[in-house]
Chain A
């Protein structure tokens, strides 16, 4: 039903029509005069989707117009931003969540967008808590068990990720490289699917953001490690990557952006609204459900951050031998 589910480029074309006539200055002044579409490039119901819905709901109160969430999943979270970059008018009525894959995938393969040129970055919002889980009935009691099994059976350990080239994929490959083991990645479309995959033992492991939390709490899944800098207050017994001997922290920070050429006045309005949303206790509470904390960066800092992150990603991708030829 995937095609059926995808609400297509909402509002984009309509504004292609509107944009021709209306002078931009006037529309930037009155902005927003109609519902804004926020593309969330993950399936509905995952941690990104729900946290973005909470943030958007709060921001829409500031903006005085509803923000409609459009779930456009696929390609490790790049299908949505790519579609926006290609088809949406820079009028502020189509914006998108920008996962880190938007910067990473262009280093790995031919893509239709250029992260340095095709987006107007608005505000940086937050980051994820990643973790690796396994079914509670599985033979793996700790990460050490996984490494031992994988050493004896190279390539036999399968793990579900929310897409090829996501931080989970890259992170797992880095870990495998350091541990000297070979793992097999199976790319799904997002948290709801990876949960089902590991629950049904179709894959041995799941590497994903905190969408697994209710299942771990219920004892259906076992959390083997988290990828944050320090242990999660909710799971004080679960080791971090560093403690396991992999000197890395992965949190895949993300923000929102519009298509290139967005009016600075509109950017400022959106920035202010989303910044306020990050202070909203309801938003903080929703984020906390997924072990996420606000990580605010203003428009300028976000732009700088994009350049930095692209460079550091390039090093990682090169070292893994995944760079595009």
Chain B
């Protein structure tokens, strides 16, 4: 391991960041626990378990940070080396766009474009295959759920579906 991929007390140490996030979450959980009241040991309150879980989280996060500093860890960049990091990012963007569109547009109008995007953007499938798959599969599922299982999918502002 050279300096590029294994660093100790540097901001690019990915282990350090994991620990710090854990510590912050732990702190938040302790605070929430205190706010919800601990109660007594005879009658523990709503925050009792949260408080102690938060303390444990801080302990574990602390030990992750300590080992990150003493033993070092891979850099953030090295975790994404030699992979097509842009593809998961694209996929995440598609999913976020889909979740924004789902309620206003309804299931059919949002999932057909989502399928088309996924089929074409990541590892492009030829159009003659992508279009039938993107249209027929969501419609088929929609029909099965609505007609056979009586499950109504979101229909959106236009009431389609």
A194 to B155, CA, bound (A): 43
Question: In the complex, which residue of chain A has the Cβ closest to the Cβ of B159?
Answer: A21
Contact across chains for B150 and A18 when beta carbons are under 8 A apart = no
Residues from chain B with Cβ under 8 Å of A20 in the complex? 157
The answer to the question of A66 belonging to the interface, with a C-beta cut-off of 8 Å to chain B, is: yes
Most buried by B among A11, A14, A22, A35: A14
Interface residues of A in 270-299 (CB under 8 A from B): none
Most buried by B among A11, A16, A17: A17
Question: In the complex, which residue of chain A has the Cβ closest to the Cβ of B107?
Answer: A17
Residues from chain A with Cβ under 8 Å of B154 in the complex? 14, 17
Residues from chain B with Cβ under 8 Å of A11 in the complex? 152
Asked, given contacts A17-B103, A17-B106, whether A34 binds B150 with beta carbons under 8 Å apart, the answer is: yes
Contact across chains for B157 and A21 when beta carbons are under 8 A apart = yes
Residues from chain A with Cβ under 8 Å of B152 in the complex? 11, 14, 18, 34
Chain A interface mostly: helix
- Please pick, from B103, B150, B153, B159, the residue contacting A22 in the complex, using a CB distance under 8 A: B159
Residues from chain B with Cβ under 8 Å of A21 in the complex? 155-159
CB distance from A37 to the nearest CB of B (A): 12
A224 to B153, CA, bound (A): 51
Interface residues of B in 142-161 (CB under 8 A from A): 150, 152-159
Interface residues of A in 6-64 (CB under 8 A from B): 11, 14, 16-18, 20-22, 34-35
Residues from chain B with Cβ under 8 Å of A17 in the complex? 103, 106, 154-156
Residues from chain B with Cβ under 8 Å of A22 in the complex? 159
Q: Mark A231-266, 1 if CB is under 8 A from B, else 0.
A: 000000000000000000000000000000000000
Interface residues of B in 107-161 (CB under 8 A from A): 150, 152-159
A35 to B155, CA, bound (A): 16
Residues from chain A with Cβ under 8 Å of B156 in the complex? 17, 21
Most buried by A among B150, B152, B155: B152
A107 to B140, CA, bound (A): 52
A21 to B156, CA, bound (A): 8
- Please pick, from A14, A16, A66, the residue contacting B150 in the complex, using a CB distance under 8 A: A66
Residues from chain A with Cβ under 8 Å of B155 in the complex? 17-18, 21
Residues from chain A with Cβ under 8 Å of B153 in the complex? 14
CB distance from B58 to the nearest CB of A (A): 25
A14 to B106, CA, bound (A): 10
A14 to B152, CA, bound (A): 8
Residues from chain A with Cβ under 8 Å of B157 in the complex? 20-21
CB distance from B118 to the nearest CB of A (A): 23
Q: Mark B62-99, 1 if CB is under 8 A from A, else 0.
A: 00000000000000000000000000000000000000
CB distance from B90 to the nearest CB of A (A): 27
A35 to B145, CA, bound (A): 13
A266 to B88, CA, bound (A): 48
A18 to B159, CA, bound (A): 7
A213 to B106, CA, bound (A): 48
A16 to B155, CA, bound (A): 11
A11 to B155, CA, bound (A): 13
CB distance from A49 to the nearest CB of B (A): 22
CB distance from A60 to the nearest CB of B (A): 12
Residues from chain A with Cβ under 8 Å of B106 in the complex? 17
A34 to B154, CA, bound (A): 13
A22 to B158, CA, bound (A): 10
A-B contact pairs, 8 of them (CB 8 A): A14-B152, A17-B156, A18-B155, A21-B155, A21-B157, A34-B150, A34-B152, A66-B150
Please give 8 more A-B residue pairs, beta carbons under 8 A apart, in addition to A11-B152, A17-B106, A17-B155: A14-B154, A17-B156, A18-B155, A21-B156, A21-B157, A21-B158, A22-B159, A66-B150
**Interfacial residues, chain A to chain B (CB-CB below 8 A):** 11, 14, 16-18, 20-22, 34-35, 66
* Nearest 6 A/B pairs, CB to CB: A17-B154, A21-B159, A17-B103, A21-B157, A34-B152, A14-B152
